[in-house]
Amino acid sequence: MLELITWLYAGNGVIALLAYLPQIKKLVTENSRAVNFSILSWSMWTYSNLVAVLYAIFVVHDHLLTTVVSINLAGCTLVLSLVLFKNSKYK
């Protein structure tokens, strides 16, 4: 049972990566401000994932957890960066 849960959790990293792709595609292809994206929400998700990465590395020392939350951190950081870029470019 523990092995199944481990595989399911590992799959979460892949699922999370796939879930970010439509948001990233929309931001990359739009030629306007990112008005439908909440900077506050994406900032909080980025912060939460940063804390989770630090916790995984320094407290629980779990490589799988570190990998999965790092994927989430990368996705949130990329979306937030694109939102900020689009909003500054298309004032």
Q: Which domains does the chain have, with CATH numbers?
A: 2-89 (1.20.1280)
For residue 24, pLDDT over 90 is answered with: yes
Region 58-82 average pLDDT: 97
Q: pLDDT of 75-91, one tens digit each?
A: 999 999 999 999 999 98
Predicted pLDDT of residue 91: 82
What is the reported pTM?
A: 0.92
Separation between Cα atoms, residue 50 and residue 16, nearest integer Å: 15
Question: Which residue, 49, 54, 55, is CA-closest to 12?
Answer: 49
